[in-house]
Structures are given as C-alpha cells and as structure tokens.
Amino acid sequence: MSETQEVLAELRPGAVRRVVGTGLLAATGALLLYSGSTSGNVLLLPIGGALLVLSGWFWRATASRLVLTAEGLRDETGRVLAPIDNIASVDRGAFAFKPSNGFVLRLARPMPAAWAPGLWWRVGQRLGVGGVVPAAQTKAMSERVAELKLERAAET
C-alpha cells in the first residue's frame, strides 16, 4: 500500500448488531405480510414486502467496512464516500442529525445521494456515518477526520 492508501481508521459493523438489525427488519416484514394476508388489509402487503427487501439490502450493506485514508473516506470496495478535500467539518454533537453511534460530515460541495442501510447515508452536503458500528470506532474515525482537516489547513 502506498502512503496515501494507509488505513488511518476503519469502521467494521458489529456482528451481533448486524444480525439483530436484519432479523428485526425481516421479522417485521414477515409479520406485516402475515397480518395483511389474514386481515384483508392489502396496504400491509407492499410495506411488508419492502421491509423484507430492505432486510436483504441491510445485510449486504453491513457486510463491508469503511476505511479512512489520507485521501478520504471510502468503503472497502473503493467507492469514495467523501474526499478529504470536500469535507468542510465534522459534527458529532448530541443534537446533530446523525446515525446512531455516529457522526455527520458536512461537505463543501454536494455529492450524489447514496445510502448503505445501517452504515452510512449521503444527501447533498451531508454524509452520515454510523448505525451498526461500535461507538468507539466512530469516535476514533471522526477525531481522525478532524485531525486530517487541521493538518490540511496548516499546510495551506
């Protein structure tokens, strides 16, 4: 690995949280499908089906990890979530609109909307990271992002 590709921090979803989250989504979907089919309330059927699809998406999304390098935040497949040059600030406060156990990166320039359920979401100039990952890992990553921003600011 080159120096710029050195992993500075990583987020790996917790196995128990991943299983519980997927199980709850799938169980809720199955319960809605059952309720809709036995009660005749057809509105419950598409909602239950959507939850079952979402549980599969959640399982696949939480199978990967997020890594922070000197270049930016990306998933393990190489998909760039936010380049360091595009990160304006890190918000990890109690009143921030952020995922559970996570933080929000405010971006200097908007990026396309994307979502990996249970791991991260990006809308406009905000990238939320967290969910089924341990709080200690997200805290360490958010602090390292803030350090990288300070280092970049000192260089210029």
DSSP string, the chain: --GGG---EEE---HHHHHHHHHHHHHHHHHHHHHHHHH--TTHHHHHHHHHHHHHHHHHHTTS-EEE-SSEEEETT--EEEEGGGEEEEE--TTS---TT-EEEEEEEEEEEEEETTTEEEEEEEEEE-SSS-HHHHHHHHHHHHHHHHHHHHH-
Q: Provide the mean pLDDT of the chain.
A: 91
Q: Which residue has the higher pLDDT, 6 or 45?
A: 45
pLDDT > 70: percent of the chain: 97
- Partner residues linked to 103 by β-bridges: 129
Q: What is the pLDDT of residue 93?
A: 79
pTM: 0.85
Q: What pLDDT band is residue 151 in, cutting at 50, 70 and 90?
A: confident
